[in-house]
Amino acid sequence: MNVNENSVIEVSRLTKKYKRFELKDVTMDVKQGFITGLIGANGAGKSTLIKLMMGMSLPEDGNVRVFGQEHATHEAEIKERIGYVADDCSYYEHLTVDAMRSVYAPFYKRWDEQQFGRYLDRFELSAKAKIRSLSKGMKMKLSLAFALSHHADLLIMDEPTAGLDPVFRRELLEILSELMLDERMSILFSTHITTDLDRVADYIAFLNRGELVFHESKERIFDRYAIVKANKELLDADVRRIFAGIRETSSGFEGLTGDRLEAERLFAGHARIERPTLEEIMFFTAKGVEAHV
């Protein structure tokens, strides 16, 4: 596979099988200098994909390159350059924040003690606090402080906003925007709170039941997708085929299409055609065309 100069992560035809779940044939990249949001409902496979990207689990098929290299041969160099926030934020609970720092810091050549101190202050975390005494949100902040204190080139966060109050969620998004002022920085974060991405993401990758539905720039997604609202009589078999998901009511229907131009042609003057939110794209795609409400 050719290494794309502009991608920090490239995954190609990635497949991972669990007993009751399969991540199927996923090909995508994470572009350097941009924020990529990974969206999908609970259980869609976001953490599975991130763990494969991190080299923490091995695929049945396909391959992963980070900074153009493979984990099998360059694990230490790759890890050094990634700031990782896991979904479970697992630490040695009996340690203090400071003791945890002395376990964590030696793994990173570019560990920056002052930077870590600044983040602890910013997040109002005490170095003396026992980790077990921290709330879920505070542990997430601590995890972020660690991830941001070794001058990583790539930040990967698995559901960083889950369990956080709206004030800190907004602060996190501000931090991400600050980080992006360094144009070499790249960020991938997964979330099912899609409103977080409306503001900051440049690219969106959408996983549904283990399959990549799209990976495109946010502008392109909103150009391409549309919600059509019309009377039920217009919903014949021919029309159904343009929808990724349909919600029917007693008199009308709402449908999501990935082909706005085709919808405008078919429904000219007979339907309302609106711009969907990411949440609506997720909802309708997960429901599919057979859904009735």
Ligand X SMILES: Nc1ncnc2c1ncn2[C@@H]1O[C@H](COP(=O)(O)OP(=O)(O)OP(=O)(O)O)[C@@H](O)[C@H]1O
Q: How far is the CB of 213 from ligand X (least distance, A)?
A: 13
Q: How far is the CB of 229 from ligand X (least distance, A)?
A: 29
* N-to-C CA span, the chain: 45
Q: Which of 1, 2, 5, 42 binds ligand X (CB under 6 A)?
A: 42
Helix, coil or strand: residue 230: strand
Residue 276 found at the interface with ligand X (CB under 6 A): no
Residue 58 found at the interface with ligand X (CB under 6 A): no
> Is the CB of 40 or the CB of 255 nearer to ligand X?
40
Neighbours of 215 (CB within 10 A): 18
Q: How far is CA 230 from CA 203, 262, 270, 280, in A?
A: 30, 15, 7, 17
CA–CA gap between residue 6 and residue 202 (Å, rounded): 14
Q: Which of 21, 111, 123, 283 binds ligand X (CB under 6 A)?
A: 21
Q: How far is the CB of 172 from ligand X (least distance, A)?
A: 17
Residue 37 found at the interface with ligand X (CB under 6 A): no
Strand arrangement, sheet containing 61-66: 21-31, 7-18, 61-66
Residue 43 found at the interface with ligand X (CB under 6 A): yes
> Is the CB of 144 or the CB of 263 nearer to ligand X?
144
Q: Which of 3, 6, 17, 18 binds ligand X (CB under 6 A)?
A: 18
Q: For ligand X, what does the binding mask look like between residues 82 and 101, x meaning CB under 6 A?
A: -----x--------------
Q: Which of 44, 152, 157, 185 binds ligand X (CB under 6 A)?
A: 44
Helix, coil or strand: residue 120: helix
CA–CA gap between residue 117 and residue 101 (Å, rounded): 11
Give Cα 242 to chain centroid, integer Å. Answer: 27
Site for ligand X in 187-216 (CB under 6 A): 192
> Is the CB of 52 or the CB of 226 nearer to ligand X?
52
Contact 155, 185 (CB under 8 A): yes
Phi-psi label, residue 103: left if phi above 0, alpha if psi -120 to 50, beta otherwise: alpha
Helix (H) or strand (E) holding 37: strand 35-39
Q: Which of 36, 48, 149, 285 binds ligand X (CB under 6 A)?
A: 48
Residue 40 found at the interface with ligand X (CB under 6 A): yes
In 3D space, the residue among 41, 36, 42 whose CA is nearest the CA of residue 53 turns out to be 36
Bridge partners (DSSP) listed for residue 12: 63
Count, residues near ligand X per rule CB under 6 A? 15
Residue 47 found at the interface with ligand X (CB under 6 A): yes
Residue 245 found at the interface with ligand X (CB under 6 A): no
Residues that bind ligand X (CB under 6 A): 18-21, 40, 42-48, 87, 159, 192
